C-alpha cells in the first residue's frame, strides 16, 4: 500500500480587502479546522475579521491549491492604542510589572491570524505565508499571540526568531493561557521556496 500524495499548494498571493471578503467563509473554515474550534466559532468571528480589513496597514496573504481553494491564510495590521488586543497586552504587561510596555507597543505590526489547513501543515506553507505577509510591513516590531503549548505554530515562531513578551496570559473571554511573542522587523532574509 502506498501513501497518499501530500496536498499541494499551487499559489500564494496577496488578497485585497474585497478578495478577502469573498473568501471569508473559506478563511474562517481553515481557522476553525486548524484551531480545533466548534463550527459556530466561524459565525462569531466573521464580523470581527470583516472589521479588521479597515485597520491601517491591513494586509492579507492566501495560499491556494490547484483547484483555487484556500488552504492557508494570514493577515495583520498596525497595532494601535484603543484596539482590543493592544489594550489586553498592555494590561498583561502592566500586571507582570513590565518596566515599559511601550518598548513593544509603541510601533508594531500585529500578526493577527495565521492558519494552515491541517492537511497542508508541516510542509513549510505557514512560514511562507508568514514571510510574505511580513515583507515590507510598517512597524519596528511584530507581535502575535498563540495558545501555550508545543505546537507546529510554536516551532515556526521560534524558528523565525520570535521571543517571549508575555507568557501564560489569559485574554478576557478565553480561559486558555496564551503567549504573546514578538521580534524586530524586518524578518531575517532567507531564500524563498521555489515554485510558490
Q: Please give the tally of structural domains in the chain.
A: 1
CATH number at residue 64: 3.40.630.30
Answer with the residue of higher pLDDT: 162 or 194.
162
Q: Which domain holds residue 20?
A: 11-184
pLDDT tens-place string over residues 45-92: 999 999 999 999 999 999 999 999 999 999 999 999 999 999 999 999
What was the pLDDT predicted at 7? Answer: 61
Q: Is residue 71 part of a domain?
A: yes
Residues designated as active site? 157
Q: Is residue 190 part of a domain?
A: no
Q: Report whether pLDDT(186) > 90.
A: yes
Give the phi and the psi of residue 83 in degrees, each rounded to 5: -75, 145
pLDDT tens-place string over residues 3-54: 444 567 789 999 999 999 999 999 999 999 999 899 999 999 999 999 999 9
Q: Is residue 194 part of a domain?
A: no
120 grid coordinates: 497542508
What was the pLDDT predicted at 132? Answer: 97
- Quote the CA–CA distance of 75 and 129 in Å, as a whole number: 9
- 3-state secondary structure at position 179: strand
Helix intervals (H) in the chain: 17-22, 24-35, 40-52, 84-95, 102-105, 125-134, 152-159
Q: Give the count of beta carbons closer than 10 Å to the beta carbon of residue 88.
A: 19
What was the pLDDT predicted at 4? Answer: 45
Classify residue 93 as exposed, middle or buried by CB count within 10 Å of its CB (0-12, 13-18, 19+).
Answer: buried
Q: Is residue 1 part of a domain?
A: no
Classify residue 192 as exposed, middle or buried by CB count within 10 Å of its CB (0-12, 13-18, 19+).
Answer: exposed
Q: Give the count of beta carbons closer than 10 Å to the beta carbon of residue 128.
A: 20
If you search the block for the grid coordinates 502506498, which residue do you land on? Answer: 2
Apex 91 CA angle, 79 and 37, nearest 5: 70
Q: Is residue 3 part of a domain?
A: no
Q: Report whether pLDDT(192) > 60.
A: no
Q: Is residue 75 part of a domain?
A: yes
Classify residue 30 as exposed, middle or buried by CB count within 10 Å of its CB (0-12, 13-18, 19+).
Answer: buried
Answer with the residue of higher pLDDT: 166 or 174.
166
What was the pLDDT predicted at 40? Answer: 95
On whether the CB atoms of residues 182 and 142 are closer than 8 A, the answer is yes
Q: Is residue 44 part of a domain?
A: yes
Q: Is residue 195 part of a domain?
A: no
pLDDT tens-place string over residues 86-137: 999 999 999 988 767 888 999 999 999 999 999 999 999 999 999 999 999 9
Mean pLDDT to the nearest integer, 157-163: 96
What was the pLDDT predicted at 6? Answer: 52
Q: Give every CB contact of residue 69 below 8 A, 6+ residues apart in sequence.
A: 26
How would you list the strands of the sheet with 70-78, edge to edge?
11-15, 59-64, 70-78, 108-116, 141-147, 178-184, 163-169
- Quote the CA–CA distance of 90 and 39 in Å, as a whole number: 31
Amino acid at each position: 500500500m502506498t501513501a497518499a500524495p501530500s496536498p499541494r499548494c499551487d499559489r500564494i498571493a496577496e488578497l485585497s480587502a474585497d478578495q478577502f471578503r469573498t473568501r471569508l467563509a473559506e478563511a474562517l473554515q481553515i481557522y476553525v479546522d486548524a484551531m480545533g474550534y466548534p463550527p459556530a466559532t466561524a459565525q462569531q468571528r466573521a464580523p470581527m475579521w470583516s472589521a479588521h480589513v479597515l485597520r491601517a496597514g491591513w494586509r492579507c496573504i492566501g495560499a491556494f491549491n490547484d483547484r483555487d481553494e484556500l488552504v492557508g491564510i494570514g493577515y495583520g495590521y498596525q497595532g494601535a492604542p484603543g484596539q482590543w488586543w493592544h489594550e489586553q497586552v498592555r494590561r498583561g504587561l502592566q500586571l507582570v510589572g513590565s518596566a515599559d510596555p511601550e518598548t513593544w507597543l509603541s510601533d508594531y505590526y500585529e500578526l493577527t491570524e495565521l492558519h494552515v489547513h491541517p492537511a497542508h501543515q508541516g510542509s513549510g506553507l505557514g512560514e511562507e505565508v508568514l514571510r510574505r505577509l511580513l515583507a515590507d510591513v510598517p512597524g519596528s516590531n511584530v507581535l502575535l499571540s498563540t495558545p501555550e503549548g508545543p505546537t507546529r505554530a510554536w516551532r515556526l515562531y521560534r524558528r523565525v526568531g520570535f521571543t517571549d513578551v508575555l507568557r501564560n496570559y489569559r485574554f478576557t473571554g478565553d480561559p486558555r493561557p496564551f503567549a504573546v511573542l514578538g521580534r524586530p522587523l524586518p524578518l531575517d532574509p532567507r531564500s524563498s521556496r521555489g515554485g510558490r
